[in-house]
């Protein structure tokens, strides 16, 4: 990807996160990126093409977060790494992740498919540890991590470290 394409995507990311996808025009993105609007169309086709490039980057980042968890053979480590995943997100990436959360709601994008590898790894871990309802435990933990991530990104006064410690204690890890 060229430097200009990177600038365009970064500008789109920031504007979509701050103002929303529908409220952001390609001319605004071009102005923020310091490029012509035509360059956006040449590289990405249209505003939806920009969005698609950002969503693909989101999937790649999720995969990189999940790979360490999914490849882990120890079921307790699968659970621990999942619980601690929220703390692995760098503050400099918050705009990116805010946009991912925002798009789930604004565009009604389901994250179920993206979360499937983590869901399978957690279900397997809970099954190996003889939990009564491994599928439900996996879904519960994913919902909690999703909610914790959302709270952190929104700047909630919630203490994520305390919540993580509580979960580690709950699962005896």
Between 1.10.10.60, 3.40.1130.10, 3.90.1150.10, 3.40.50.2300, what CATH number should domain 1-45 receive?
Answer: 1.10.10.60
Residue-range domain boundaries for the chain: 1-45, 55-170
Whole-prediction pTM: 0.79
Phi-psi region of 20 (alpha: psi -120 to 50; beta: other; left: phi over 0): left
Can you read off the two tokens belonging to residue 171? 């699962």
The span from the CA of 108 to the CA of 130, in Å, is: 35
Q: What is the pLDDT along the chain (173 residues), one digit of tens a residue?
A: 889 999 999 999 889 888 888 899 999 999 999 999 999 999 999 999 998 898 888 788 888 888 999 999 999 999 999 999 888 777 778 778 878 777 777 776 666 777 899 999 999 999 999 999 999 999 999 999 988 988 888 888 888 899 999 999 999 99
């Amino acid at each position: 990807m060229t430097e200009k394409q990177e600038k365009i995507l970064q500008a789109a990311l920031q504007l979509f996160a701050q103002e929303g996808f529908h409220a952001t025009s390609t001319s605004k993105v071009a102005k923020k990126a310091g490029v012509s609007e035509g360059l956006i169309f040449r590289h990405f086709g249209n505003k939806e093409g920009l969005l698609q490039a950002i969503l693909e980057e989101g999937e790649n980042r999720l995969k990189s977060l999940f790979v360490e968890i999914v490849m882990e053979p120890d079921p307790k480590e699968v659970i621990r790494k999942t619980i601690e995943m929220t703390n692995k997100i760098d503050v400099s990436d918050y705009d990116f992740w805010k946009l991912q959360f925002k798009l789930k709601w604004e565009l009604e994008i389901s994250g179920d498919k993206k979360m499937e590898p983590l869901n399978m790894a957690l279900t397997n871990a809970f099954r190996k540890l003889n939990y009564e309802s491994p599928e439900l435990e996996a879904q519960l933990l994913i919902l909690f991590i999703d909610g914790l991530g959302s709270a952190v990104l929104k700047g909630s006064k919630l203490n994520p470290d305390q919540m993580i410690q509580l979960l580690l204690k709950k699962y005896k890890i």
